Amino acid sequence: MPELPEVEVAARALRRWTEGRTVASAEAEPSRIFRGADARGFTALRGKVASISRRGKYLMVAFEDGRGFVGHLGMTGKWVRRPGGHPEPYSKARLRLDSGEVLHYRDPRMFGRIEPAPAGALSRVPAVAALGVDPLVDGLDAARLKAALSDTSMDLKVALMDQSRVAGLGNIYAAEALYRARLHPARKPASLSDAEWKVLSGAIHAALEFALAQEDGDEIAYVEEPGAPNPFLVYGRKGERCPACDTAFASFTQGGRTTWYCPGCQPLRPVKPARKAKKAAAPARKTPTRAKRRTS
């Protein structure tokens, strides 16, 4: 499922493909991807693209004549470039370039979305305006991350996936970042120390940058697609051994989604900060408990 890096790759590809080109015509069948909006707002698109930007998992495409659209790739949406006359299965909307090439928006499951909107108002489309801090667009450091997450009692991973807090992370990159940060997905944000916020913000950037470094080609493959490789450290790796501690990766259901983690590297009990708060708890018992968890 496309998350921030996959949408960023789509934005970069669309910029490359439209640079120096003119959109000669646009076509679309009325379909669920328009969510009731008039597809004619898309088929009226013509001329030069002024800018293509991304916020969270949303693409914003502005044309020089003041038209534009917001796009979301949903679960299986993808922009692909094809020669003219090349049939593209699941093509739901198309931009025909003056070169004869066609940019297809293909989406077999149609959870994606295209919302025509004036170029000057793309960032005010409600779904975009509701987004929280974008790690690449806005920058994300420990202080911003803590400010975005620490007022919720949600589990840390569920909070990371809340688009109104941090924009762009989904099931894959939230799990990857938490594994890199050695934080259990069910930790409560309020329990994190300043040092842990710093490690987590760095881990989010590392997970995103790792993915962006992998995706340089013209056409992206999503990890859920049949035969697609799994480049991730922990996502989808239940039962495999953690290269850091040799514990078998485990999974559980959290917020309705499968979460992967390493029980060895990501203990649920915070290692440092809870001690002071719970002076009465027998500290002698903590060490053996943790040791037992590590070796089991």
Note the residues at the interface with Zn ion (CB under 5 A).
Answer: 242, 244-245, 247, 262, 264-265
CB nearer to Zn ion: give 35 or 241. 241
Beta pairing class for 68-72 and 58-63: antiparallel
Rg (CA), the chain: 22
Supply the minimum distance, in Å, between the C-beta of residue 30 and Zn ion.
Answer: 50
CB nearer to Zn ion: give 34 or 261. 261
Cβ-in-10-Å burial (0-12, 13-18, 19+) of 82 comes to middle
Question: Is 2 one of the catalytic residues?
Answer: yes
Q: What is the rounded CA–CA span in Å between residue 96 and residue 82? A: 10
The values of phi and psi at residue 292, to 5°, are -60, -45
Supply the minimum distance, in Å, between the C-beta of residue 276 and Zn ion.
Answer: 27
CB nearer to Zn ion: give 127 or 248. 248
Catalytic choice (3, 6, 176, 196): 3
Supply the minimum distance, in Å, between the C-beta of residue 146 and Zn ion.
Answer: 25
Residue of this chain nearest to Zn ion (CB atom): 242
Question: Is 257 one of the catalytic residues?
Answer: yes
Question: Is 88 one of the catalytic residues?
Answer: no
Catalytic choice (54, 57, 180, 182): 57
Supply the minimum distance, in Å, between the C-beta of residue 247 and Zn ion.
Answer: 5
Catalytic choice (40, 257, 269, 294): 257
Supply the minimum distance, in Å, between the C-beta of residue 261 and Zn ion.
Answer: 9
CB nearer to Zn ion: give 76 or 266. 266
CB nearer to Zn ion: give 6 or 176. 176
User: Which residues are the active-site residues?
Assistant: 2-3, 57, 257
